[in-house]
Each structure stands twice: as C-alpha cells, then as structure tokens.
C-alpha cells in the first residue's frame, strides 16, 4: 500500500510514522521546511489539560493521550511531556472552572478545589484577591511541541518514510488517489491524507467547507529574577477567570512565561503570515497580566502568530472523499494533545482495522 500525506504538521507526521511501522510506503509532502515554523504544530509548547467542559469524549481520553506521549518519549529517547499540573481560576466573571469541575466529577477524575489563600501559599506568582476558588488537577502539563515534530520527522526518515520538504501540493484529485505538485508532477497512491492544517480550505474547498482558519497571538513575558524559583513550581494555567480570559504555560528554555487570551483569536488565512503586530506582546500582557502579583514588573519580550482550524462545534473532522481520500482537521485548540491517539486510530482505519465513521464521534 502507498499513502500520500499532505502536510508535515503533527497529524501528517505521526500518521505517517504509524503507517510506516505497519509496512506502508509513505510519502509526506510539505510546502515549507520540515519542521515548518509557520505550522500550528511547531511552537515552543502545547498544553495538556484534564477537563474539557461539554466534551466528555475528550475529557475521558486525556489520560490515554498523556500515556501515549510518554510512550512516544521513550521510543524517541527524549522527554516530551512535562507534567506540571493545571490551575483554573473561578471568579464572578466566568463559569469555566465550575463547568470543568462538573466534567471531572462526571468522569470520576481527580481534582482539588483550592481557596484563594491556598493558591497564594502554593503558587505565590498569582494574584487571588478577585478569585472565588481555583481548580487544580495534577494531570496535565506541557508538551514540547516543536521538538516532538522534529523528532518524529527524523524517526520517519530512519524508518524509510519519505518526508519531502518544499513540495507544495497544488491540487488533490477528487478520487483521493493522487496529488499534483506546483511544478506539475503527479504523485499517485492508494490513499491521500490531507493534513494541511489552516491551509485545508484552500486545498479542498468543498470537502472542508465548514473548516475556518483562525489566527491567534501568543506572548512571552520575562518574570522578575527573584520569582524564578516560584515559577519552577507553578502549573499551567488553563483559565485566568478574568473578564478577558487568558491561559498560559510556565517559563521553559529561558523564553519566559507564555500567555494567550481567548479574545485574541480571530478568522484569518495563513497567507497573512506569522508576524505579530508591533506592541502585540504588551497588549496581550495588559489583558492577562493582572492575574499575577507584581505583574507590572514583568517584561513582555515578543509575540508570535499561529494559525489553526476551527469547526462550528469544535470537533475533529475526519472526512473521506473519493475512493482513497481523507481530510484530517482537528478543528480546536486541543488538536495537539490528542494527536498522539487520533493518528494511531486513523492509521488503523486506513489499514481496515477499525471504523473511521465512529472515530470522530468518540472525540466529542
Ligand atoms: C496559539 C495556539 C495554541 C494552541 N494550544 C494548544 C494546546 O495548548 N493544546 C493542544 O492540544 N492544541 C493546541 N493548539 C492546536 C494545535 O496546535 C493544532 O490543532 C495542531 O498543531 C494542528 O496540527 P496539524 O498537523 O493539523 O496542522 P499544522 O501543524 O498546521 O500542519 C499542517 C502542515 O501542512 C502543510 N501544508 C499546508 N498546505 C500544504 C500544501 N498545499 N502542500 C504541502 N503542505 C502543505 C503546512 O505547511 C503545515 O506544515 C494550539 C494552536 C494554536 C495556534
């Protein structure tokens, strides 16, 4: 069997790796370099959180996804998952913590409900005077996303898979059996998997009609030096509970605290590029910073832009077309963490070991 995979983000590469291990002849075509810094998967890190309110299928699968990342770390010889735990703040502004707690209860998963004094004692970097309580989960943490993509591409090459950088696909045949590159070269196979992230709508406008490319800015902020030790014990924060809700990850690799804000997500085609507007880091920090004690002493250093995809109800889209085609789009801000599981299941479906139809349903 020969599978052609369009896109060397985490979905394209991991699916290719699973297929290759089963003896499939795989070709991965990537429009940019591999790893491509413009794709959603190549960022410093991505978060795993335990609760996904209103999406019990996701909440149930977090433990399996984390275990799979640990297994992959062992296979690739590098620690890709740092379990920091997560914190979600409950305030009069937002019910996200309340809904997260209900979701964990329903799933029988562990959590702690902390009062503001307990939060300040354990995690002194936060300001808690406007907080009702906070939800702590030990499960959850940081995935070293960019490193993972690089290591998976390398492993795929070692196993005889063919990652081809600078090979932009111009068109995919409607029977899902071949692709045409920009120079007119046609590459044929038994299956074509389109894992093209935010570029999916331009490549398959009909099949991906409800997939929206989205743009999000993230900022890096340097904490005051004397808070370095406190930050090493600080979990990821899923929701800051502010009127403008924010999220973030503790400092790693000397790059500072990483923050994003829900309000900073908007429709945009990836052609608009990944350069943040001047002052973007300061603007983001002005939204999220007030959750932190001494926030005026932090120094915003830079901002990045990233494109990913959303669908109306934020569910995975796994949509067959023609005899051999499959569109894969994770369509939510949870795409990275579940890629460890979903890509294995997609590979199994392509090999006829399981049904594809039920797969997207399991992640609702
Ligand atoms: C700011 C931000 C924060 C996020 N936070 C989290 C998080 O905390 N946890 C989490 O789980 N998820 C998170 N996500 C979501 C997650 O990063 C994405 O869902 C996931 O990385 C998407 O992977 P992908 O392989 O589908 O797409 P991508 O990584 O975008 O890969 C698609 C690839 O296809 C290539 N391509 C496109 N068109 C063509 C073509 N015509 N020919 C050849 N190649 C092509 C592109 O160049 C690209 O390399 C976040 C996303 C963003 C933007």
The helix or strand, by DSSP H or E, that contains position 68, with its residue range, turns out to be helix 56-76
Residue 333: per-residue pLDDT: 86
Q: From ligand 1's centre to the CA of 36, what distance in Å?
A: 10
DSSP state of 275: P
- Where do the domains of the chain lie? 2-43+146-209+313-362, 84-142+212-310
Alpha-carbon span 172 to 325, nearest angstrom: 9
56-76 and 145-158 are packed helices; what angle lies between their axes, rounded to 10 degrees?
Answer: 60
Which residues on adjacent β-strands are paired with residue 181? 169
Which residue minimizes the CA distance to atom 26 of ligand 1? Answer: 197
Nearest residue to 54 (alpha-carbon basis) of 95, 110, 112, 11 = 95
Tell me if 235 sits within 8 A of 87, measured CB to CB.
yes
237-261 as b/e, with b when 16 or more CB fall inside 10 Å? bbbbbbeebbbbbbbbeeebbbbbb
CA dihedral 16, 22, 26, 32 (to 10 degrees): 20
CA distances from 81 to 9, 10, 139, 248, 306 (A): 18, 15, 11, 16, 21
Q: Which CATH code is given to the segment(s) 2-43+146-209+313-362?
A: 3.50.50.60
User: Which pLDDT score, from 0 to 100, does residue 181 have?
Assistant: 98
- What is the distance in A from the centroid of ligand 1 to the CA of 302? 21
- Cβ count near 268 (within 10 Å): 16
Superfamily covering domain 84-142+212-310 = D-Amino Acid Oxidase, subunit A, domain 2 (3.30.9.10)
Ligand 1 midpoint to CA 116 (Å): 36
- Average pLDDT by stretches of 10, the chain with 364 residues: 98 98 98 96 96 93 95 93 96 93 97 98 97 97 96 97 96 98 98 97 93 94 96 97 95 92 88 90 97 98 94 86 94 92 96 86 78
Ligand 1 atom with least separation from CA of 45: 8
> What is the reported pLDDT for 358?
80
pTM across the whole model: 0.97
Nearest to 338 by CA among 90, 10, 7: 10
């Amino acid at each position: 069997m020969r599978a052609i995979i369009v896109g060397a983000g985490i979905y394209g590469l991991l699916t290719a790796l699973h297929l290759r291990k089963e003896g499939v002849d795989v070709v991965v075509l990537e429009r940019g370099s591999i790893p491509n810094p413009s794709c959603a998967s190549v960022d410093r890190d991505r978060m795993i959180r335990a609760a996904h309110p209103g999406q019990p299928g996701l909440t149930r699968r977090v433990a399996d996804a984390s275990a799979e990342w640990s297994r992959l770390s062992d296979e690739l010889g590098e620690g890709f998952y740092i379990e920091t735990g997560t914190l979600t703040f409950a305030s009069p502004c937002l019910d996200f913590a309340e809904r997260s707690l209900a979701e964990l209860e329903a799933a029988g998963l562990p959590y702690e409900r902390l009062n503001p004094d307990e939060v300040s004692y354990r995690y002194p970097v936060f300001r808690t005077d406007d907080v009702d309580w906070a939800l702590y989960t030990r499960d959850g943490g940081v995935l070293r996303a960019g490193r993972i993509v690089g290591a998976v591409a390398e492993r795929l090459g070692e196993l005889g898979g063919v990652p081809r950088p600078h090979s932009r696909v111009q068109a995919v045949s409607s029977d899902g059996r071949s692709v045409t590159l920009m120079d007119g070269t046609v590459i044929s196979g038994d299956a074509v998997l389109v894992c093209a992230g935010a570029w999916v709508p331009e490549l398959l406008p009909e099949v991906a009609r409800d997939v929206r490319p989205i743009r999000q800015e993230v900022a890096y902020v340097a904490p005051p030096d004397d808070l370095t030790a406190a930050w090493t014990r600080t979990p990821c924060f899923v929701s800051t509970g502010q009127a403008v809700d924010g999220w973030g990850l503790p400092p790693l690799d000397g790059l500072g605290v990483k923050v994003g804000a829900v309000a900073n997500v908007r429709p945009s085609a990836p052609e608009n590029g990944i350069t943040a507007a001047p002052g973007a880091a300061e603007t983001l920090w002005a939204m999220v910073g007030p959750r932190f004690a001494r926030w005026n002493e932090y120094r915003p250093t830079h901002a990045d832009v990233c494109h990913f995809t959303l669908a109306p109800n934020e569910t995975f889209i796994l949509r067959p077309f023609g005899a051999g085609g499959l569109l894969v789009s994770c369509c939510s801000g949870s795409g990275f963490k579940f890629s460890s599981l979903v890509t294995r299941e997609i590979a199994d479906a392509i090999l006829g070991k399981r049904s594809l139809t039920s797969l997207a349903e399991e992640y609702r």
